[in-house]
Amino acid sequence: MKECIHKYFKVGLINFMAYPSTIRGDDPEITQYIKKTAVDDYFDAIEVTWIKDDAKRAEVKKLLETSHLEVCYGAQPRLLTTGLNPNHIDETERKKAEATLMEAIEEAEYLGAKGIAFLSGKWEPQTKDQAYAQLLKTTRNLCDYAKTKDMLVELEVFDYDIAKSSLIGPAPYAAQFAADMRTTHNNFGLMIDLSHIPMTYETPEFVVRTLRPYLTHFHVGNTVCSDPALEGYGDEHQRFGFPGGSNDVEQVLEYLRVLKNEGFFNVENPYVFSFEVKPWKDEDPDVVIANAKRVLNRAWALLED
Protein backbone atom coordinates (compact mmCIF):
# COMPACT_ATOMS: atom_id res chain seq x y z
CA MET A 1 0.00 0.00 0.00
CA LYS A 2 1.29 3.44 -0.89
CA GLU A 3 -0.75 5.07 1.84
CA CYS A 4 0.06 4.74 5.53
CA ILE A 5 -1.63 2.03 7.60
CA HIS A 6 -2.52 4.67 10.19
CA LYS A 7 -4.97 6.17 7.70
CA TYR A 8 -7.09 3.02 7.90
CA PHE A 9 -6.44 1.55 11.36
CA LYS A 10 -5.55 2.64 14.86
CA VAL A 11 -2.49 0.48 15.38
CA GLY A 12 -2.33 -0.62 18.98
CA LEU A 13 -0.42 -2.68 21.50
CA ILE A 14 -1.84 -4.97 24.16
CA ASN A 15 0.40 -3.58 26.86
CA PHE A 16 -0.32 -6.24 29.45
CA MET A 17 0.65 -9.00 27.03
CA ALA A 18 3.84 -7.32 25.85
CA TYR A 19 4.77 -6.72 29.50
CA PRO A 20 3.26 -9.83 31.11
CA SER A 21 4.35 -8.98 34.65
CA THR A 22 1.43 -6.54 34.65
CA ILE A 23 -1.27 -9.09 33.86
CA ARG A 24 -2.29 -9.64 37.50
CA GLY A 25 -2.79 -5.94 38.08
CA ASP A 26 -0.19 -5.56 40.82
CA ASP A 27 3.10 -4.69 39.10
CA PRO A 28 4.55 -1.56 40.77
CA GLU A 29 6.20 -0.62 37.45
CA ILE A 30 2.92 -0.49 35.52
CA THR A 31 3.11 3.27 34.85
CA GLN A 32 6.54 2.96 33.24
CA TYR A 33 5.42 0.09 31.01
CA ILE A 34 2.43 2.05 29.80
CA LYS A 35 4.62 5.10 29.27
CA LYS A 36 6.76 3.06 26.84
CA THR A 37 3.72 2.76 24.58
CA ALA A 38 2.52 6.31 25.20
CA VAL A 39 5.80 7.86 23.98
CA ASP A 40 5.98 5.64 20.87
CA ASP A 41 4.17 7.42 18.06
CA TYR A 42 3.93 4.20 16.05
CA PHE A 43 0.95 3.42 18.24
CA ASP A 44 -2.45 5.05 18.01
CA ALA A 45 -4.08 2.79 20.61
CA ILE A 46 -3.20 0.96 23.80
CA GLU A 47 -4.95 -1.94 25.50
CA VAL A 48 -4.70 -1.96 29.29
CA THR A 49 -6.15 -4.11 32.03
CA TRP A 50 -6.87 -3.93 35.75
CA ILE A 51 -4.65 -1.92 38.06
CA LYS A 52 -5.33 -2.83 41.66
CA ASP A 53 -3.50 0.04 43.36
CA ASP A 54 -5.55 3.26 43.45
CA ALA A 55 -2.52 5.55 43.25
CA LYS A 56 -1.00 3.67 40.32
CA ARG A 57 -4.36 3.70 38.54
CA ALA A 58 -4.56 7.45 38.98
CA GLU A 59 -1.02 7.83 37.57
CA VAL A 60 -1.94 5.77 34.53
CA LYS A 61 -5.16 7.72 34.02
CA LYS A 62 -3.22 10.99 33.90
CA LEU A 63 -0.65 9.52 31.52
CA LEU A 64 -3.32 8.22 29.17
CA GLU A 65 -5.21 11.51 29.23
CA THR A 66 -2.14 13.32 27.89
CA SER A 67 -1.18 10.69 25.31
CA HIS A 68 -3.88 11.08 22.62
CA LEU A 69 -4.00 7.28 22.47
CA GLU A 70 -7.23 5.39 21.94
CA VAL A 71 -7.62 3.52 25.23
CA CYS A 72 -9.03 -0.01 25.20
CA TYR A 73 -9.62 -2.20 28.23
CA GLY A 74 -9.00 -5.94 28.25
CA ALA A 75 -10.90 -7.67 31.04
CA GLN A 76 -9.56 -11.09 30.05
CA PRO A 77 -6.93 -11.12 32.85
CA ARG A 78 -9.68 -10.66 35.45
CA LEU A 79 -10.95 -14.07 34.35
CA LEU A 80 -7.82 -15.91 33.27
CA THR A 81 -5.82 -15.20 36.43
CA THR A 82 -8.69 -16.00 38.79
CA GLY A 83 -10.42 -18.93 37.11
CA LEU A 84 -13.73 -17.09 37.02
CA ASN A 85 -16.11 -18.26 34.31
CA PRO A 86 -18.87 -16.05 32.82
CA ASN A 87 -20.66 -19.13 31.47
CA HIS A 88 -20.40 -21.28 34.59
CA ILE A 89 -23.52 -23.39 34.92
CA ASP A 90 -23.50 -22.79 38.66
CA GLU A 91 -25.30 -19.47 39.07
CA THR A 92 -23.29 -18.39 42.10
CA GLU A 93 -20.04 -18.90 40.18
CA ARG A 94 -21.43 -17.16 37.10
CA LYS A 95 -22.33 -14.13 39.20
CA LYS A 96 -18.78 -13.93 40.55
CA ALA A 97 -17.47 -13.60 37.00
CA GLU A 98 -20.15 -11.09 36.14
CA ALA A 99 -19.24 -9.01 39.18
CA THR A 100 -15.59 -8.63 38.21
CA LEU A 101 -16.61 -7.74 34.65
CA MET A 102 -18.96 -5.07 35.98
CA GLU A 103 -16.00 -3.69 37.93
CA ALA A 104 -14.03 -3.80 34.68
CA ILE A 105 -16.59 -1.54 33.01
CA GLU A 106 -16.20 0.98 35.84
CA GLU A 107 -12.41 0.84 35.70
CA ALA A 108 -12.42 1.12 31.91
CA GLU A 109 -14.57 4.23 32.12
CA TYR A 110 -12.21 5.76 34.69
CA LEU A 111 -9.19 5.11 32.45
CA GLY A 112 -10.89 6.61 29.40
CA ALA A 113 -11.79 3.46 27.50
CA LYS A 114 -14.99 3.25 25.50
CA GLY A 115 -15.69 -0.35 26.39
CA ILE A 116 -14.30 -3.66 27.60
CA ALA A 117 -13.30 -6.94 26.00
CA PHE A 118 -13.58 -10.34 27.68
CA LEU A 119 -13.66 -14.02 26.80
CA SER A 120 -15.98 -16.91 27.41
CA GLY A 121 -15.08 -19.53 29.98
CA LYS A 122 -14.31 -23.21 29.75
CA TRP A 123 -17.12 -25.60 28.95
CA GLU A 124 -17.98 -29.28 29.04
CA PRO A 125 -19.64 -31.06 26.09
CA GLN A 126 -22.53 -32.36 28.18
CA THR A 127 -23.43 -28.86 29.45
CA LYS A 128 -22.63 -26.79 26.36
CA ASP A 129 -26.17 -25.54 25.82
CA GLN A 130 -26.51 -24.53 29.46
CA ALA A 131 -23.17 -22.74 29.31
CA TYR A 132 -24.28 -20.87 26.18
CA ALA A 133 -27.42 -19.67 27.96
CA GLN A 134 -25.34 -18.58 30.96
CA LEU A 135 -22.97 -16.64 28.72
CA LEU A 136 -25.89 -14.88 27.08
CA LYS A 137 -27.18 -13.90 30.52
CA THR A 138 -23.81 -12.52 31.61
CA THR A 139 -23.18 -10.66 28.37
CA ARG A 140 -26.63 -9.11 28.26
CA ASN A 141 -26.24 -7.89 31.82
CA LEU A 142 -22.85 -6.39 30.93
CA CYS A 143 -24.28 -4.71 27.85
CA ASP A 144 -27.16 -3.28 29.87
CA TYR A 145 -24.73 -1.68 32.31
CA ALA A 146 -22.30 -0.55 29.60
CA LYS A 147 -25.18 1.05 27.71
CA THR A 148 -25.77 3.45 30.62
CA LYS A 149 -22.22 4.70 30.06
CA ASP A 150 -22.37 4.66 26.25
CA MET A 151 -19.79 1.89 26.21
CA LEU A 152 -19.24 -1.24 24.11
CA VAL A 153 -18.83 -4.86 25.21
CA GLU A 154 -16.66 -7.08 23.02
CA LEU A 155 -16.23 -10.84 23.22
CA GLU A 156 -12.93 -12.21 21.95
CA VAL A 157 -13.05 -15.44 19.94
CA PHE A 158 -10.69 -18.11 21.30
CA ASP A 159 -9.84 -21.75 20.65
CA TYR A 160 -12.10 -24.53 21.86
CA ASP A 161 -9.78 -27.54 22.23
CA ILE A 162 -6.11 -26.51 22.42
CA ALA A 163 -5.33 -23.97 25.14
CA LYS A 164 -8.13 -21.83 26.54
CA SER A 165 -10.83 -24.32 25.49
CA SER A 166 -13.36 -21.50 25.50
CA LEU A 167 -17.02 -21.83 24.70
CA ILE A 168 -16.73 -19.24 21.90
CA GLY A 169 -15.46 -19.96 18.97
CA PRO A 170 -15.07 -21.38 16.38
CA ALA A 171 -16.34 -18.72 13.96
CA PRO A 172 -19.76 -20.20 13.12
CA TYR A 173 -20.57 -20.63 16.80
CA ALA A 174 -19.31 -17.12 17.53
CA ALA A 175 -21.58 -15.83 14.75
CA GLN A 176 -24.55 -17.59 16.31
CA PHE A 177 -23.79 -16.06 19.69
CA ALA A 178 -23.28 -12.58 18.23
CA ALA A 179 -26.54 -12.82 16.28
CA ASP A 180 -28.38 -13.75 19.47
CA MET A 181 -26.75 -10.82 21.29
CA ARG A 182 -27.52 -8.32 18.54
CA THR A 183 -31.23 -9.16 18.72
CA THR A 184 -31.27 -7.40 22.09
CA HIS A 185 -28.15 -5.20 22.27
CA ASN A 186 -26.49 -2.99 19.68
CA ASN A 187 -23.48 -2.27 21.92
CA PHE A 188 -22.06 -5.77 21.50
CA GLY A 189 -19.30 -6.81 19.14
CA LEU A 190 -16.75 -9.53 18.44
CA MET A 191 -12.97 -9.32 18.49
CA ILE A 192 -10.81 -11.68 16.44
CA ASP A 193 -7.10 -12.40 16.68
CA LEU A 194 -4.92 -13.79 13.90
CA SER A 195 -3.16 -15.79 16.63
CA HIS A 196 -6.32 -17.75 17.36
CA ILE A 197 -7.41 -18.49 13.80
CA PRO A 198 -4.99 -21.43 13.28
CA MET A 199 -6.12 -22.82 16.65
CA THR A 200 -9.72 -23.05 15.43
CA TYR A 201 -8.58 -24.75 12.20
CA GLU A 202 -9.93 -21.89 10.11
CA THR A 203 -8.60 -19.25 7.71
CA PRO A 204 -8.71 -15.45 7.95
CA GLU A 205 -11.01 -15.30 4.94
CA PHE A 206 -13.48 -17.76 6.45
CA VAL A 207 -13.43 -16.13 9.89
CA VAL A 208 -13.80 -12.55 8.67
CA ARG A 209 -16.55 -13.40 6.19
CA THR A 210 -18.43 -15.48 8.74
CA LEU A 211 -18.26 -12.84 11.45
CA ARG A 212 -18.31 -9.74 9.28
CA PRO A 213 -21.50 -8.06 10.66
CA TYR A 214 -20.29 -8.34 14.23
CA LEU A 215 -16.56 -7.47 14.08
CA THR A 216 -15.50 -4.38 16.02
CA HIS A 217 -11.83 -4.98 16.92
CA PHE A 218 -8.77 -6.85 15.59
CA HIS A 219 -5.68 -8.42 17.09
CA VAL A 220 -2.63 -9.73 15.26
CA GLY A 221 0.07 -12.08 16.48
CA ASN A 222 1.64 -15.51 16.26
CA THR A 223 0.95 -18.93 17.75
CA VAL A 224 2.49 -22.40 17.94
CA CYS A 225 -0.24 -24.97 17.50
CA SER A 226 0.68 -27.47 14.79
CA ASP A 227 2.28 -30.06 17.08
CA PRO A 228 1.89 -30.49 20.87
CA ALA A 229 5.55 -31.56 21.02
CA LEU A 230 6.77 -28.13 19.92
CA GLU A 231 8.14 -25.64 22.43
CA GLY A 232 5.55 -23.06 23.38
CA TYR A 233 2.59 -25.06 22.08
CA GLY A 234 -0.70 -23.35 22.81
CA ASP A 235 -1.99 -19.80 23.16
CA GLU A 236 1.29 -18.08 24.08
CA HIS A 237 1.45 -15.29 21.45
CA GLN A 238 5.13 -15.75 20.67
CA ARG A 239 7.05 -13.27 18.56
CA PHE A 240 6.92 -13.58 14.82
CA GLY A 241 9.66 -15.90 13.60
CA PHE A 242 9.38 -18.17 16.64
CA PRO A 243 10.26 -21.80 15.76
CA GLY A 244 7.14 -23.70 14.71
CA GLY A 245 5.02 -20.56 14.60
CA SER A 246 1.95 -20.40 12.38
CA ASN A 247 1.98 -16.70 11.46
CA ASP A 248 4.55 -14.38 9.91
CA VAL A 249 4.65 -11.76 7.15
CA GLU A 250 2.76 -13.95 4.68
CA GLN A 251 -0.13 -14.64 7.07
CA VAL A 252 -0.32 -11.02 8.28
CA LEU A 253 -0.45 -9.94 4.64
CA GLU A 254 -3.32 -12.32 3.96
CA TYR A 255 -5.15 -11.07 7.07
CA LEU A 256 -4.80 -7.48 5.86
CA ARG A 257 -5.87 -8.47 2.35
CA VAL A 258 -9.04 -10.07 3.66
CA LEU A 259 -9.85 -7.08 5.88
CA LYS A 260 -9.36 -4.78 2.89
CA ASN A 261 -11.54 -6.88 0.61
CA GLU A 262 -14.28 -7.11 3.23
CA GLY A 263 -14.46 -3.36 3.75
CA PHE A 264 -12.70 -2.92 7.10
CA PHE A 265 -10.31 -0.21 5.92
CA ASN A 266 -12.16 2.72 7.44
CA VAL A 267 -10.78 6.23 7.04
CA GLU A 268 -13.56 8.00 8.92
CA ASN A 269 -13.68 5.71 11.96
CA PRO A 270 -10.64 3.40 11.96
CA TYR A 271 -10.83 0.05 13.74
CA VAL A 272 -8.27 -0.76 16.42
CA PHE A 273 -5.70 -3.25 15.10
CA SER A 274 -3.44 -4.32 17.98
CA PHE A 275 -0.37 -6.46 18.35
CA GLU A 276 -0.81 -9.31 20.79
CA VAL A 277 2.76 -10.44 21.27
CA LYS A 278 4.44 -11.79 24.37
CA PRO A 279 8.11 -12.39 25.19
CA TRP A 280 9.00 -16.06 25.55
CA LYS A 281 10.99 -16.83 28.69
CA ASP A 282 13.78 -14.21 28.97
CA GLU A 283 13.19 -12.42 25.67
CA ASP A 284 13.26 -8.63 25.80
CA PRO A 285 9.72 -7.23 25.48
CA ASP A 286 10.87 -4.14 23.60
CA VAL A 287 12.65 -6.26 20.99
CA VAL A 288 9.54 -8.42 20.59
CA ILE A 289 7.48 -5.27 20.00
CA ALA A 290 9.99 -3.99 17.43
CA ASN A 291 9.83 -7.39 15.72
CA ALA A 292 6.04 -7.04 15.41
CA LYS A 293 6.33 -3.57 13.90
CA ARG A 294 8.77 -4.85 11.28
CA VAL A 295 6.43 -7.67 10.32
CA LEU A 296 3.43 -5.36 9.99
CA ASN A 297 5.46 -2.79 8.05
CA ARG A 298 6.60 -5.44 5.60
CA ALA A 299 3.13 -6.95 5.21
CA TRP A 300 1.62 -3.50 4.64
CA ALA A 301 4.29 -2.67 2.05
CA LEU A 302 3.40 -5.84 0.15
CA LEU A 303 -0.36 -5.21 0.26
CA GLU A 304 -1.78 -4.30 -3.11
CA ASP A 305 -3.36 -0.84 -3.54
Assign residue 20 the CATH number of its domain.
3.20.20.150
The reported pLDDT for the residue numbered 164 is: 85
- Total count of domains within the chain: 1
CA 250-267-195 angle, to 5 degrees, is 30
Alpha carbon separation from 93 to 83, 85, 124 (Å, rounded) = 10, 7, 15
> From CA 109, how far away is CA 103, in angstroms rounded?
10
The reported pLDDT for the residue numbered 131 is: 96
Please count the other Cβ atoms lying within 10 Å of the Cβ belonging to residue 163: 16
Q: Which amino acid is residue 246, in one-letter code?
A: S
Alpha carbon separation from 259 to 194, 207, 295 (Å, rounded) = 12, 11, 17
Q: What are phi and psi of 303, to 5 degrees?
A: -70, 135
Strands of the chain (E only): list them. 9-14, 45-48, 70-74, 115-119, 152-156, 188-193, 215-220, 271-275
The reported pLDDT for the residue numbered 1 is: 85
Q: What is the pLDDT along the chain (305 residues), one digit of tens a residue?
A: 889 999 999 999 999 999 999 999 999 999 999 999 999 999 999 999 999 999 999 999 999 999 999 999 999 999 999 999 999 999 999 999 999 999 999 999 999 999 999 999 998 899 999 999 999 999 999 999 999 999 999 999 998 888 888 999 899 999 999 999 999 999 999 999 999 999 999 999 999 999 999 999 999 999 999 899 999 998 899 999 999 999 999 999 999 999 999 999 999 999 999 999 999 999 999 999 999 999 999 999 999 98
> From CA 71, how far away is CA 200, in angstroms rounded?
28
285-302 vs 249-261: helix crossing angle, rounded to 10: 50
The reported pLDDT for the residue numbered 198 is: 92
The reported pLDDT for the residue numbered 235 is: 87
| Cα radius of gyration (the chain) | 18
Q: For residue 99, what are the contacts with CB-CB under 8 A and spacing of at least 6? A: none
- Domain enclosing residue 32, as ranges: 5-302
